[in-house]
Each structure stands twice: as structure tokens, then as C-alpha cells.
Structure 1
Amino acid sequence: MATKVLPPPYSRVAPSSDIWRSNAPPPSKSFHSEHHSTQMLVQLSTLRTERVLCDGTLIASGEHFSVHRIILASCSEYFRDIFKRNDNLRDIQLGNAISKLGVELLLQYAYTSEITLTLENVHMVLLAAVHLRMSQVTDLCIEYLTSTLDVQNCVNLLQLAERHNFARLKKAVQDFIVDEFLQVSATSGFQELNADQVTFFISQDRMAAGSEMQLFKVAARWLEHDLVAREQYAPQLMRHIRFPLISSNDLVDHVQSHDFMMNNHECHQYLLEALNYHLVPHRQHTLQNSRTRMRSVNEVVLATGGELPHQDVSNLLMIFDESHSRWKKLTTMPLRRVDHSIAVLNHFLYVAGGQVTLNSNGKESIGTVHRYDPRFNTWLQMCPMQQRRAFFHLTALGDSLYAIGGKNEQGALASAEVYSPTENKWKYLKGLPEKSYALAGCCIKNKLFVSGGFSNHKFSRNLYLYGQEGDDWIPRCPMNTARGFHMMCSVRDMIYVMGGNHLNTYGDRVDVTSVEKYNPLHDNWITVSPMLTGLSMAGCAVTENNKIFIVGGYNGLSRQREKDIHCYNVAEDEWDVVGELPKASLRMACCTLTLPYNLFQETSPRENVSTTGGISLNRSASNATGGISVNRSASNATGGISINRSASNTSTGSNFVVRRPRTPTLR
């Protein structure tokens, strides 16, 4: 009998299909069920409830819990280890420290992936999770405890975090106490902190306490809570109190009255150091150390002086609150100023030169220099420059200030001078190759560059590097576009110039919208995204997040002062408008400055400030007295603004007079 040969199985399925006639194997496909794990947990929980296939028992506080050992091993390193060592172990007696409720909630999580935490049970769950090494539950407990942080429980949570080495909880509690330090220090729990813990808090730069005097009082109160046992820690604590930031009156009246400040030699030296610091304010620059550094991480954009509407000259220092896109009054300068220059050296703000009137010919320029101390919110007059200067550049380089070029009653200046805070004295440097004003400058990698300006009846493309060793000016690659009254700054390893004015083919002074960046390493210029509108005589500041802020200025196309705050994002190469000035302004000077936390918090928006300061934060939807509406055209590539003036004052019927801002005369 002949053997019957059966065809392969796949021949019965679509024998005419090309794919089955191929010698290639059938295609494969993987499937994943999103519900499988959830359904399996439900079934496992049911099996445990019904005590089906349970192969182990947990015993806690006399209570027996039937379990599946494989589930425990998958959730707990503790059980995984003991089952690996002894696979026959069935009954496990847990320690007395682990409560019945803690075990119940851990098993609930193991079988359902869910757990309900409350203030009443979280400590029991956390203790059990730590003992059984269930890290996921431990993390959930820490997350819950962090969400419950308040002034009353933070010290206890800090002790818990340190006892069990919960780094994430400890960091959260420390941050909370730093932010609420004065309130926490007033609680009874604060006295339970040890010396190292108190030292940690009073050493923080980001401390949000009201003042250094308040920090001293907190530290003194902790010491005197148990002076016999704690007096030995006085030097350790006082080492981190910044006594030079406490006024001399408070040092005498409220610090030296504490016995430990007089009896302990190290503490007494800190007191003497602070008193000497206040005796010689002109030399404070040379006395800087860790105890003179302000507690702050609040860097802000600051604007000083400027020309305001109605031919007013401002004497205000304003700071820009970027988070709320609004300006706040910080203080007032001793003098009103326009066309001045500012620089920050060792956290002091120096304001130099400029003019006290709007006369732009330089005949009323000044050489006065004032230093602002943000730690005390005070001003100190320093040695004046050797020459009066307006439309010049001032910069900080190393431990000195450099004043370059400018304009005074003699006309444009080529001279340059350097200021030594140690000697409180200016001395001349080698001057620029040519007389120039309306120039701009900045420092990068301890090198000073100046660019552009108005010289010999024309705007300049020149870029110079100051050679400190040879006291000379080294020409570098000139800019692509001549400009003056422009802005210049350094970001990362590049120099940026933007805006300003130049002369067109007809000899007219026009705006420059182009922006260029200079690479000092390769000595070349690259064009980047242009400004949204042409601006000159504006303030310029660079923040730590690599953003360039252009504040106010003059828009030559519309012949108007600018109100908007323009921001250039270096990383994205994009411009945006991020806020506006209370009043349109130009000829001011801007920078970034670190302010003490308490001073930053105390500054608040000023409304309806007089024209002496020239700031108002009230913006009406329409100008009731002037009736000016500003319409920006998206299609205007140069950023032009069309101005529509109402023919009459809608509230009084009188004509509205528009005063054009004065632009400096080019000579």
C-alpha cells in the first residue's frame, strides 16, 4: 500500500496567495496589553483575601497575615533577601516596632499599587517601609510629608530626615526653613536644633531673613536658651553672622551688649572688624570678605536717570520685576542725570558723569561720581573724574573702573582715565586714537573693548581693544555698520552691538536696526537677528540667563521716546517685547545688580510718582489728555511705529501739544 504524503499545513490556507508560496517565514507581530498587569493584581488580591495559594504568613503585633511569598519578594528587598537565603521559610515574625496598621497598608500597596496616607498613619507606614526596604513606599511617604510641611512640624521632619538619611526630605525641609526662617526660629521646636543645624541655616546666602541683625538675634537667642551648654558654640555661629552688614548703631546698642560677644575673643574680633569697616566707608572696597557679602541671589535689571516727557530729568533708580513685567522704585540718586554711565564693582553700583540738564552740547557735563551700596540702600560721593564727561563709557575691569571718551564743554574727548577704589583716585591712561563720544563698550574675559561713536563728523565702525600691559589701544576688526549712541554688551564668549544711529547717503542721522556679534577669538563679526525697531540712547543690561534687555531709547522713525522693554534671547536668536517703562524715556543707563532679599521684597510699585522722579505705573487704555494711539505694523520690517494724534483733548476740548524729545546735536 502506497504511503499518502500530506501537504504542509499552510497549503490548506489560501494556496493561491503569493506570500504562502514564498520560502520566507510568516511575518511576526508583538502585542502588549495595558490591562494585563492591573487585572493580575486584582486577581492576586482576591486570592489573598480568599487565602488561595497563599504560601506564607506575616506576624505583626500578634496579627497573622496570609501572603504570597513571590509578591513580597517582588516588592521588598528585605523579603527578597531572606527568601533567597531560606526558600523554605513560611512564617515571618516582624519586629515590635512595626505596627499592624503599617503592615496592612504595605500589603495593600503590594497587591493593588495603591496606598492611602494620612497624618495619622504616615509615620507608621514610613517606619515599616524603611524596615522592610520598600523604597517605592518610602518615596511616597516622603512626598506626602513634604506636602505637609509647615512652621510647626518642619523641625521634627528635619530630625526624621537626618535620622533615616532621607536626602530628598532633608533638602525639602531645609529649603522650607530657609524661606521661613524667622517664623520657624520663633517656635519652641527651633531650640531643639543642634549647633551644626543652626550653623547651616545662618550660613546660607539665600537666607530670606529680614536683616542681618535679625539673624544675629536668632543665633543669640538659641545660644542663651542654654548658655552654659551652648556658649562653646558661640564662635561657630558668629563666624557666619555678617556683622559688617549690621549698622554701627546696632552693633553698639544691640550686639556688644551680649556677654559672649565681649568675653569670647573670636566673637569680639568679629565685632571690632565690623566697627572698623564702618569707620572707613571709602575703603570698604579693600575690606571685602565673606562677612561683607550680602545674602542674596536676586539679580535684577536696574535703570538710572534718563530723559522723561515734559523735559524732565530723572533721579530715580528703578528695578525691573521680570516675573510681573513691571518696574519698582528702588531709591533716588543724589543728582538727576542724563547721558551718564554706570558700572558694578564688588557689588557696589558706581554712577559717573553725565549731565544734569537736557542740553546735549556737553557744556553742562559733570564729573561727579557716586557709589550706591545696596546692602544699606545708601549713597557715598567718591572722588570725581579728572574730566567732566557725558556720552562716555564706564566699565569695571579687575579691581578698577575705566572711563573712556565722551564729550564736555571742550567738545569730543579722546582721553581715558582709571579709578582705584583703594586710593579713591583717578589717573589718566593713554587716550583713544581719536576723539569720540556716543561710543559703547564692555569687558569680556578681562579684556576691555570699545566700539563706534561719533568722531570727525561721522559715525565710526572702529573696534578697539585696550592693552593693559602696554597702555595702548589695539585696533580690531571693524563692525559691519558704523554706529553711535548704540548698545554693547558681552554674553558668554561673544560681544554684541545693537541699534544706534548712523548717517545715510544724504547725511541724515537714521536708526540702525542691525545687530552684530563679535568673536574675540577669531576677530570677526557675524550678523544676527535685527531689532524689532531702531533704537538709540537706550539702556542695556544682561541677565544671568543670557538675555539682553534694551530699555527705552529713542525711535528715530517715529521721533518718539520708547516705552517698551525689548529682550533678546541669545540662545534662540529672537527678539521680544517683555514689558514697558512707566513713562517713555531715553538717555538713561542700565545694568544688572544683586539686591539683598529684604530690599528686593520691600520695593513696591510706586503709582503717580512726581515728575521729579518721573515714574508712573498706571497705564490707561487711552490717553485722556493726549489722545495718542500707537499702532505697530507687523509688515514694517524696520519696526516703524505709526502715531495717530487726536486733534483735540476729549476731556477739555483744548489742543494737545506733542513735545519732541531732544536728540544730541552732532558736532
Structure 2
Amino acid sequence: MMEGSRQTRVSRPYKISESSKVYRWAEHSGTVLQRLNEQRLRGLFCDVVLVADEQRLPAHRNLLAVCSDYFNSMFTLGMREAFQKEVELIGASYIGLKAVVDFLYGGELVLDGGNIDYVLETAHLLQIWTAVDFCCEYLEQEVSEDNYLYLQELASIYSLKRLDAFIDSFILSRFGTLSFTPAFLQNISMQKLCAYLGSSEVQRECEHDLLQAALQWLTQQPEREAHAYQVLENIHFPLIPKNDLLHRVKPAVCSLLPREANCEGFIEEAVRYHNSLAAQPVMQTKRTALRTTQECLLFVGGEVSERCLELSDDTCYLDAQSEQWVKETPLPARRSHHCVAVLGGFIFIAGGSFSRDNGGDAASNLLYRYDPRCKQWIKVASMNQRRVDFYLASIEDMLVAVGGRNENGALSSVETYSPKTDSWSYVAGLPRFTYGHAGTIYKDFVYISGGHDYQIGPYRKNLLCYDHRTDVWEERRPMSTARGWHSMCSLGDSIYSIGGSDDSLESMERFDVLGVEAYSPQCNQWTRVAPLLHANSESGVAVWEGRIYILGGYSWENTAFSKTVQVYDRDKDKWSEGTELPKAIAGVSACVCALKPRLEDKKKKGKGKRPQDHGQ
């Protein structure tokens, strides 16, 4: 019989059951909080009264200490407030305090245009970081051209990095309009102005607009002239046309700013840049750079299979947002089986075939250079030899053209291009005639693999490495698979040799190679990785955003051109298909380069999510 319980006829066993279960009261925490709030509103069991603006608010110390580091320290570290019945909160308003205390008891924070700054002030004082985050989230939705400066000041006062960054993005996206308003010109700080003028995200029609905004700000108040150099060093003067620099910019700067500001040097630097046309790729500074944070994947030229075979002068880039190929300025001449390289933010197109005969008889030695800043192609110094089916590398401050073939047959010569002198010079040649090979750059070394030499027989497995400092070619461990017309690229610590084709020893018929292998320069070893999905002889290759892209190509077994884009994910060791090319194409080249953003691209950019800000 259990003590204090109803008498039973059957004696209680030692254990009623061998099993055990845990039951949870799902509404427990909510119910407790609700009952505590009811007690607070009725004045029951409250052990502290908070005072702000001479108005009183009863509360429970336990709950305040649990929700706020500020109150926890106040009530546990021996401060006098720990023993006071009433605690006056200096720096807090009653409006803000009531909203925050109601939030601690009810979990709901009521914010509107009349109380937001009071609530933010109090939540920040009391270190209620969740409430601070809600305040920032509310303000982000309410930022406008009427209040952004006041909200920026709030962000500065309370060290709200999240809100400050959001308002910066708001200003950058409307800079062309806001920067000429009286409120902006009078109130924006020099540090903020410099940050906006130096940003790649700043909205403007042209660089001249940013210069005008800077000059307007500098001439608002006489004492600002002392900051002229710091402000104008953020203007990309070389992006302004030379004629404008001489006839509009220089007179304006000289008339508005004193000589001792030393700002004419920026204009002189820009004019020197414009006058040194060929050398521009090796004269790059932060002021010559395009205002963009993104690089684009491009393909250039090639042999197109549409109705009948024809060469292409297309230059197209992949718009990542729309997943469509967009046309950039076309090539000055149609080309296939040429090479592309990027140096100093400029795209170089060298050699290739100028007719459908890609056997070498139509080889070109021309070198064209594309400037994405002004979207123009120019012709620079031609190679010493005509070359098709070769490799072009960009390394340090030069280009390196390796092997290939022309009307005289296969080549072993190698030559380098110096933008500084706009000239080509021969360097150490290959140990054998080579064309149809592939190449890549790894840590300032040039690597080439495979290819052929006009002799009867299959393609080669050789891997060669060139050190431009010693002007020496050296053999490395050959590939496990012979191949030509393949692709090579570097990603991470590996060099990849991708696809291509080879000739059968017995029948001498050409067959596709789908195999891919990765070479470790550190270990001098090759390892097989996932094979291609489709044949890719004479395709373009580029590494973009950490993945390998194979563009188009030709299948010898199916005698078919391809518009497929194959994408390799190194982490998953897997190939997938990307956005198709506009046309089936082979003999195409690909590269990655920063391009001048289109105005509509800038307008499309949405507001990204930001991490939570705890006012630190």
C-alpha cells in the first residue's frame, strides 16, 4: 500500500514497466513567458522597476538577466543597482524601453517610423542583439532618398556594420543621382566619398561623372581642398578619353583646385597611358582597371558548322544571370584555329587560319588586342612567323607563341611578345617540330603536351616544360594517352590534359579520345580522372569560377561539330553540360577576362542577403 494514497487490493510491484519514455510539454516555454507577462502587467512578483523619462516599468530581474548581458552584469557583479528597487536607465527613452521590455516578455517587437530610432537606441544600450537585428532589418526595408543620411548616421553611432553596408549599397546603386544633391554634398564624409569613388560597384554613366561628383564635393567648402589628392586618387582618369582629359578635365581641375593640391599629376599619368598604346597591358594600376568585380567567360572566332562551313568573327561572353551568350565587339577579321591569351586585362588574338583551309597554307601572323575598357580591337606587332594550331601563353609581362605550322610545315620555333617594345623575339625552340599540341601556364612555367610533327604515325604523349627565366625546355613524365587537338589547363595544384584525338596504328584512321588525366608538377605523376561526356577536338578551354569549361569542338568519329559546353567539377570529379553555344563550332578559343559592365547589367543587380549584425 502506497503511503498517503488510496488503499488498493493489489500490492504495488517493484517496477510497473521495464520501458521508459520522455513526454514534452510543447507549449511550456510559451506558456511560462505568457504567465510571467500577465504577472508583470498585474504587478505580481515583480522585483525591480525600470525608470526612463520619469516613467516606471515593473519587471522580473530573472527574465531581464536571462535576455540581456547588460542586466545580467548589473544584477550579478555587485553593482548598487542589484539591490535597488528602482533602476534608472540613463540614455534610454520610455518609448524604446517599453517596446524592448514588451519584446522580452512577448517575443514580438512592434516597429514603426515613430519609434524605430528610440527602440534601436534602447536595444543597443541594453545589448538585446536580436532586437538590434530586427531594427536593422526594418530600416533596410525603409531606406529612401529622404532618410538614408540620417540612417547612415545611426549606423555610425551604434557601429551597425550590417546597416552601414546596406546603406553603402543603396548609395552606390544611385550614386549618379544622389551625389549631386545638396544633402549629399554637404553631409557625406570624405572617408565615405573616397570609398564610393573607389568602389567597383558605383553607378555612373562614365568615369567623367564620378570626377564631376568629386569636384562638386571638394568645392562645397574651402577646407575640403586639403583633401583633393585623397579624393581624386580614386578617379580612374585613364578610363576617360584622351581628348576629354586635355580639353575638359585638365582645365576644370586647374580652375577649381589650387596647384598645391598636386592633382594635375593624375591627368599627366592618364595622358602618358593613352600615348603608350601598345605598352598599356604592362602599365596597369588601380586607376586603369575596369570598375567591375566579375570576370566573364568568352569564346572568340572559330569554324562554324551552319548551312555550310564558314569562319567566325564572333566574340561572345556568357551572361551568368540569364545563362545566355551575349555578343561583344566582333573580331577585326574572321579566324579559326588561332590562340587567345589575356595579359594585363587585355585580350590578345594571335595567328590562326584566315580561310577554311586549316592545313597551314592559310596561317596568319597577325596579333590583335582587345581593350574591354573602350570595347575596341587594334592591331599590334605581328609574329615573326605565321602560325596555326599552336599555343599562346601569357606569362608575367609577355606572350609566348609555341610551335604550330604554316605553309612550310610544322614549326619548332618559339617567340615572345613584349608589349613594352611592341615587338617579337625568338627564344629557345622546341626539341622537335610540333603542331596540334595543347598548353597551359602553371606557376610561371609553360607546359605543352601531345601534338604531331607531320611524320607518319600516331600523336605523341610528350610533356614539355619551359622556364622563361633560364630559356630552357625540359621533358617531363609523358601522358599515359597520346593525343592531339586536345585541351590543357591548370586548376589548383594540377594540370589537366583533356580529350582530343589520335590516329590508329593499324588503319591510320582518326579516333576521338575522351580520356582526361591530371598531372601533378610536384610529384611528376599523371592520374586519370573522369572522362569527357562528348568528343572535343579543336575546342576552346578556360578555367572560370573554379571549374574547367570545354567549349564546342569536333568529333572525328561522327564528323560533327559541337555546340556543347562541358563543365568539370574537380571536387566531385564529374563532368556536366553547361549553357550551349549559339552555334556548333570548332577551332575556337576561350578565355576569362573582366569586361566593361553594361548599364542594364548594373541595374539588374539585386540586394544580397547580409549576415546578422550585433552592433560590433
TM-score by length of 1: 0.83
Q: Secondary structure at the match of 2:83?
A: coil
Find the partner of 1:78 among 58, 70, 82. Answer: 70
Find the partner of 1:444 among 442, 455, 461. Answer: 442
Q: Write out aligned runs for 1:369-518 (5 A).
A: 369-455=367-453, 456-457=455-456, 458-504=458-504, 505-518=506-519
Aligned-pair CA distance for 1:13 = 4.8
Q: Secondary structure at the match of 1:459?
A: coil
Find the partner of 1:142 among 128, 136, 148. Answer: 136
1:549 aligns with 2:549: yes
Residue 296 of structure 1 is matched in structure 2 by 292
**What is the one-letter code of the residue matched to 1:94?**
L
Distance 1:55 1:603, change over 3 A: closer
Distance 1:408 1:603, change over 3 A: farther
Partners of 2:194 and 2:231 within 8 A in 1: yes
How many Å separate the matches in 2 of 1:335 and 1:307?
13
Partners of 2:282 and 2:344 within 8 A in 1: no
Find the partner of 1:199 among 187, 194, 200. Answer: 194
Aligned-pair CA distance for 1:313 = 1.3
Partner deviation per Cα, 1:350-386 (whole Å, 9 max, x = no partner): 1100111111221111100011111111222111000
Q: Write out aligned runs for 1:239-250 (5 A).
A: 239-250=233-244
1:270 aligns with 2:266: yes
Partners of 2:226 and 2:261 within 8 A in 1: no
Aligned-pair CA distance for 1:247 = 0.7
Residue 642 of structure 1 is matched in structure 2 by none
Residue 651 of structure 1 is matched in structure 2 by none
Distance 1:330 1:367, change over 3 A: same
**What is the one-letter code of the residue matched to 1:555?**
S
Partners of 1:208 and 1:598 within 8 A in 2: no
Distance 1:264 1:301, change over 3 A: same
Residue 219 of structure 1 is matched in structure 2 by 214
**What is the one-letter code of the residue matched to 1:314?**
S
Q: Secondary structure at the match of 1:157?
A: helix
Q: Secondary structure at the match of 1:49?
A: helix
How many Å separate the matches in 2 of 1:587 and 1:366?
14
Partners of 1:542 and 1:549 within 8 A in 2: yes
Residue 87 of structure 2 is matched in structure 1 by 92
Aligned-pair CA distance for 1:333 = 1.3
Distance 1:394 1:175, change over 3 A: same
**What is the one-letter code of the residue matched to 2:256?**
F
Distance 1:469 1:102, change over 3 A: closer
Residue 563 of structure 1 is matched in structure 2 by 563
**What is the one-letter code of the residue matched to 1:171?**
A
1:528 aligns with 2:529: yes
Aligned-pair CA distance for 1:600 = 8.6
Partners of 1:298 and 1:597 within 8 A in 2: no
Moved more, 404-413 or 69-78: 69-78
Q: Secondary structure at the match of 1:488?
A: strand
Q: Secondary structure at the match of 1:209?
A: coil
Distance 1:379 1:194, change over 3 A: same
Partner deviation per Cα, 1:440-498 (whole Å, 9 max, x = no partner): 10001111100011222331111101133442321111111111111110001100111
Partner deviation per Cα, 1:113-138 (whole Å, 9 max, x = no partner): 21122233211111121223322211
How many Å separate the matches in 1 of 2:415 and 2:600?
34
Partners of 2:282 and 2:397 within 8 A in 1: no
1:182 aligns with 2:152: no
Partner deviation per Cα, 1:600-619 (whole Å, 9 max, x = no partner): 93999xxxxxxxxxxxxxxx
Query: How many positions carry a matched residue from both structures?
Result: 584
Partners of 1:459 and 1:484 within 8 A in 2: yes
Distance 1:298 1:208, change over 3 A: farther
Residue 580 of structure 2 is matched in structure 1 by 580
How many Å separate the matches in 1 of 2:367 and 2:147?
51
Partners of 2:535 and 2:553 within 8 A in 1: no
List gaps (5 residues or longer) in structure 2: 1-9, 605-616
Q: Secondary structure at the match of 1:331?
A: coil
Aligned residues: CA RMSD: 2.3
Matched-pair identity in %: 33
Partners of 1:535 and 1:556 within 8 A in 2: no
Partner deviation per Cα, 1:273-295 (whole Å, 9 max, x = no partner): 11121122122234322222222
1:351 aligns with 2:349: yes
Residue 166 of structure 1 is matched in structure 2 by 160
Distance 1:467 1:98, change over 3 A: closer
Residue 519 of structure 1 is matched in structure 2 by 520
Q: Secondary structure at the match of 1:474?
A: strand
How many Å separate the matches in 2 of 1:603 and 1:123?
31
How many Å separate the matches in 2 of 1:119 and 1:161?
16
Moved more, 346-355 or 248-257: 248-257
Q: Write out aligned runs for 1:306-325 (5 A).
A: 306-308=302-304, 309=306, 310-325=308-323
Distance 1:447 1:136, change over 3 A: same
Q: Secondary structure at the match of 2:582?
A: strand
How many Å separate the matches in 2 of 1:395 and 1:597?
26
**What is the one-letter code of the residue matched to 2:277?**
P
How many Å separate the matches in 2 of 1:48 and 1:265?
65
Moved more, 47-56 or 481-490: 47-56
How many Å separate the matches in 2 of 1:161 and 1:144?
13
Q: Secondary structure at the match of 1:507?
A: coil
Partners of 1:55 and 1:69 within 8 A in 2: yes
Aligned-pair CA distance for 1:231 = 1.7
Q: Secondary structure at the match of 1:553?
A: strand
Moved more, 123-132 or 475-484: 123-132
Moved more, 490-499 or 46-55: 46-55
Partners of 2:516 and 2:528 within 8 A in 1: yes
**What is the one-letter code of the residue matched to 1:243?**
F
How many Å separate the matches in 1 of 2:119 and 2:102?
11
How many Å separate the matches in 2 of 1:211 and 1:141?
36
How many Å separate the matches in 2 of 1:351 and 1:602?
28
Residue 305 of structure 1 is matched in structure 2 by 301
Moved more, 38-47 or 153-162: 153-162
Residue 121 of structure 1 is matched in structure 2 by 115
Residue 614 of structure 2 is matched in structure 1 by none
How many Å separate the matches in 1 of 2:317 and 2:584?
15
How many Å separate the matches in 1 of 2:151 and 2:373?
34
Distance 1:446 1:314, change over 3 A: same
How many Å separate the matches in 1 of 2:203 and 2:392?
33
1:48 aligns with 2:40: yes
Find the partner of 2:151 among 138, 149, 157. Answer: 157
Aligned-pair CA distance for 1:177 = 2.5
Aligned-pair CA distance for 1:572 = 1.2
Partner deviation per Cα, 1:519-563 (whole Å, 9 max, x = no partner): 1111111111111111211111111x3111111111233322111
Partner deviation per Cα, 1:127-179 (whole Å, 9 max, x = no partner): 12122332221122122222333444333222211122112222222233333
How many Å separate the matches in 2 of 1:599 and 1:393?
35
How many Å separate the matches in 1 of 2:158 and 2:296?
40
Partner deviation per Cα, 1:296-332 (whole Å, 9 max, x = no partner): 2121111111112222211121101133221000101
Find the partner of 2:55 among 52, 55, 63. Answer: 63
Distance 1:221 1:36, change over 3 A: same
How many Å separate the matches in 2 of 1:563 and 1:122?
56
